[in-house]
Structures are given as structure tokens and as C-alpha cells.
């Protein structure tokens, strides 16, 4: 599954509890610029792409959809969950691994 820059940007904002206005202020651009990026109407310049990557501590590959698996982002998202939800995710992961092992043995 490949994600678009627009989707990655919105997800990163959400994970960091930033509004479009928050991000616009941090990048010193208009809120409409962030909105246009997230609606896939245009894309940021190389300079802003680098600033976004630095701000949210992700690789350019991740934000450009070239690499969906960003372990640091997954860890931050997991850490943001309540303890109950973290336990639920771990149980689900274990169930999926067990099911996968059973399927492999057949």
C-alpha cells in the first residue's frame, strides 16, 4: 500500500496533535498552503519538504510514499494509545502471528 504525500502529511499532523494552522505557523506559510497540500492540489517545494521531515522526524521516503513502514512513527503512534489499547494491539498481534503459523503448517 502506498500513501500519498497529502495523506502522510495529514497523518503526521494528527499524530503530533497539530492543526493546519499550527503547522502553517511552524513553517511560516499560510494555512491555505497546508490545506492545498493535504487536498493534493499542489506539493511543497524541496525546502518545505525538508522542513516537514525535520519537524516530524520522518524520512523523505516515508512522506513521499516510497516507504510506508516508518518504525519511529509507528512507535510514537503506539505510545500515544492508552494502556488498554496497547494491550489490545499486542493481543491482536499475537493472535495474527498464531494464525499465520497455523496456516504455514498446513
Per-domain boundaries in the chain: 1-69, 70-106
Report percent pLDDT > 70 for the chain.
91
What is each CA distance from 34 to 10, 57, 63, 105, in whole angstroms?
Answer: 9, 18, 14, 49
pLDDT band at 68 (very low <50, low <70, confident <90, very high): low
Show the cell assigned to 61: 521516503
pLDDT confidence of residue 69: 61
Could you tell me if 64 and 12 are in contact, meaning their C-beta atoms sit under 8 angstroms apart? Answer: no
18-38 confidence digits (pLDDT tens): 999 999 999 999 999 999 999
Topology at the third CATH level for domain 1-69: 434 Repressor (Amino-terminal Domain) (1.10.260)
Dihedral pair phi/psi, residue 5, rounded to 5° = -55, -45
Could you tell me if 81 and 93 are in contact, meaning their C-beta atoms sit under 8 angstroms apart? Answer: no
Amino acid at each position: 500500500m502506498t500513501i500519498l504525500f497529502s495523506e502522510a502529511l495529514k497523518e503526521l499532523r494528527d499524530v503530533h496533535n497539530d492543526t493546519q494552522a499550527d503547522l502553517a505557523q511552524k513553517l511560516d506559510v499560510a494555512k491555505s498552503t497546508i490545506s492545498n497540500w493535504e487536498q493534493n492540489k499542489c506539493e511543497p517545494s524541496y525546502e518545505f519538504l525538508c522542513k516537514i521531515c525535520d519537524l516530524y522526524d520522518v524520512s523523505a521516503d516515508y512522506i513521499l510514499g516510497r516507504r510506508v513502514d516508518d518504525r519511529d512513527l509507528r512507535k510514537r503512534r503506539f505510545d500515544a494509545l492508552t494502556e488498554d489499547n496497547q494491550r489490545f494491539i499486542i493481543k491482536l498481534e499475537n493472535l495474527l502471528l498464531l494464525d499465520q503459523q497455523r496456516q504455514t503448517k498446513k
